[in-house]
Amino acid sequence: MSSRLAQRHVLVTGAGGGIGLAIAEACLQQGARCTLVDRSPAPSDGVALLQRSHPGRVGYLPGDVTDANAVAQLLESAQAAAGPIHTLVNNAAVFDMAPLLESDEASFDLLFAVNVKALFFVMQRVLQHMVVHGEAGCSVINMASQAGRRGEALVSHYCATKAAVISYTQSAALAMAPQGIRVNAIAPGVVDTPMWAHVDALFARYEGLPPGEKKRRVGLEVPLGRMGTPDEIAGAAVFLASDEARYITAQTLNVDGGNVMS
């Protein structure tokens, strides 16, 4: 175990699997205490494994990040168990897609409720907490996407939500700079997680592709020739949370194999 995040409390939302779980594991390996939040009433197998591997340093809190009252209680519970929060990894998100002329209000409402509204108010409450406690080295890492850098015909609402994440990251960073609190984002490209089974199925439906074909194609189209892995996103998160990034704020770091150049 290294010590880049020693004595720091990291709160990760959407931590039951995929990128969130990988970030939690990487932070633990760097000495952090972690509070992991997800919708499931009980910890996932991955979270349970981390609890066994890092006894006393992994807390799990079930909760709905779209419920403001629940979020307030989550933060109180996290602080009571592990002390002031030094880093928020705002990772909880949902995905959906449909042709523009067929997209419905229910999909719009769900995507914006989780990916934008919940992200903002979780960030706001954690930032309030950070200001009150005045701990050194505090930061927020919001999870954006390469989809926030450009529009896509079938993915209009999702792209718009992730563009909003990038914008809120910039605004929050400027607002919190006088407090010495950094706010950044990560924009992953196509990452091989369990969620891609859902994404691939939607593309198969709307583009008439056989199952697995979209996933194969998007990997080949990446300049580095493959999809990313959750641990590659986790490495960026550890860097942004650490003192190595102490002069970095208001940035969205592309971790996408070269898909977006900015």
Catalytic residue chosen out of the listed positions 60, 158, 206, 247: 158
Say what the alpha-carbon torsion angle 147, 126, 232, 164 is, to the nearest 10 degrees. 10
Sequence-separated (6 or more) residues with CB below 8 Å from residue 192:
215, 219, 227, 228, 229, 230
Q: Is 158 a catalytic residue?
A: yes
- What's the rounded Cα separation, in Å, for the pair 232 and 193? 12
Which segments of 12-118 does DSSP mark as H helices, in order?
18-29, 45-53, 68-82, 105-112
Structure-token pair, residue 259: 């898909």
Q: Which residues are catalytic?
A: 158
